Amino acid sequence: MKTLIVVTGPTAVGKTDLCLNLASQFNIPIINADSRQIYREMKIGTAAPTEEQLRQVRHYFVATQSIKDYFSASIYEQQVMTLLEELFKDSDYALMTGGSMMYIDAVCNGIDDIPTVDDNTREELKRRLADEGLEALCNQLHELDPEHWAIVDRLNPRRVVHALEICIMTGKTYTSFRKNERKKRPFHIIKIALNRDRNELYERINHRVDLMMKHGLMEEARALYPLRELNALNTVGYKEMFAYFDSVWTLDEAIERLKGNTRRYARKQLTWFKRDPEVKWFSPDQKEEIIEYIKQSSIVDNTTC
């Protein structure tokens, strides 16, 4: 049976170096599962693969979208599944890596078939959010879908607006589309997660932020500042720079906030991945052990098919 190798873990843990090694070992490309590295305007702040790395191994879903484009985990699932059909024609293995929990789950487990929001509805809700505020939209969601209103994060504009978009566009509740049924995949999935000593991980995160600043994160963020209301830019690295531009923090404060928020996000990622009993944990330095684990897991699966 064909095998999808999934390598995940917290930001800055060392996924890139390991996956470049695995891609060479199995002679396969890399499917990116970082929801922000898909945007071509956000190279520095997302620690996207370098030009040298992109030349070394073919990557998919890196710098393929504009931050002005609508993209979602559902779209990602559909496109990756189509890509895997092609990749598996030439190889028994495929490799997907990244730290975006929803994107990985979408491919491994499937995602609810929620309709794509049309441009008119999206623009109308964006205007209403700016004019009426989040509370007014929460109140309407309560009227149209009280079940989802009861569980949604009502302080998160993106989640409230998306649910309301679906209600208004379809005339049905957002809840009616949320079935949470796991989809069966026509391939074997091996999930590998990387972790390090907590202090070592935090040092790597702090060092990465320093390198981002050295390589031009401030200039990249300043160029994107006029578009700061876009959802793609509501992410660590850019929010802190925007706050500095708005004189909310000094530059030193913004950098420290960036480091702290990145560390907090890494903890959130680890908590998410540790809930998955199918994940096998390794240190990034255990390259030989990881390769052997992949080979042995594939043999075991093929004998049971």
* Of the candidates 152, 143, 144, the residue with the CA atom closest to the CA atom of residue 171: 144
- Confidence band (pLDDT; 50, 70, 90) for 154? confident
Higher pLDDT, 180 or 39: 39
CATH class of the 3-112+181-304 domain in this structure: alpha beta
Question: What is the predicted pLDDT for the residue at 277?
Answer: 95
Give me the amino acid identity at 204.
R
- pLDDT tens column, 69-107: 888 888 999 999 999 999 999 999 999 999 999 899 999
Distance of alpha carbon 99 from alpha carbon 58, whole angstroms: 19
Helix H or strand E segment including 268: helix 251-274
- pLDDT tens column, 1-34: 899 999 999 999 999 999 999 999 999 999 999 9
* Model confidence at 115: pLDDT above 90: no
Question: What is the predicted pLDDT for the residue at 157?
Answer: 87
Question: What is the predicted pLDDT for the residue at 83?
Answer: 98
* Model confidence at 42: pLDDT above 70: yes
Per CATH, which fold does 119-177 belong to? Histone, subunit A (1.10.20)
- Confidence band (pLDDT; 50, 70, 90) for 302? low
Helix H or strand E segment including 148: helix 146-149
Q: Which residues contact 218 (CB under 8 A, 6 or more apart)?
A: 241, 244, 251
- pLDDT tens column, 270-285: 999 999 999 999 999 9
Lowest mean pLDDT across 31-45, 50-64, 156-170, 239-253: 156-170
> Hey, what's the torsion of the CAs at 245, 246, 250, 256, to 10 degrees?
-80
Question: What is the predicted pLDDT for the residue at 301?
Answer: 60
- pLDDT tens column, 44-60: 999 999 999 999 999 99
* Of the candidates 33, 102, 101, 94, the residue with the CA atom closest to the CA atom of residue 62: 33
Contact 87, 29 (CB under 8 A): yes
- Confidence band (pLDDT; 50, 70, 90) for 300? low
Question: What is the predicted pLDDT for the residue at 1?
Answer: 86
Question: What is the predicted pLDDT for the residue at 299?
Answer: 73
* Model confidence at 180: pLDDT above 80: no
Query: So where are the chain's domains?
Result: 3-112+181-304, 119-177
Q: Which residues does residue 60 pair with via DSSP β-bridges, in sequence order?
A: 31
Higher pLDDT, 217 or 179: 217
* Of the candidates 64, 2, 61, 1, the residue with the CA atom closest to the CA atom of residue 29: 61
Question: What is the predicted pLDDT for the residue at 143?
Answer: 96
Distance of alpha carbon 278 from alpha carbon 255, whole angstroms: 36
Question: What is the predicted pLDDT for the residue at 305?
Answer: 47
Question: What is the predicted pLDDT for the residue at 149?
Answer: 94
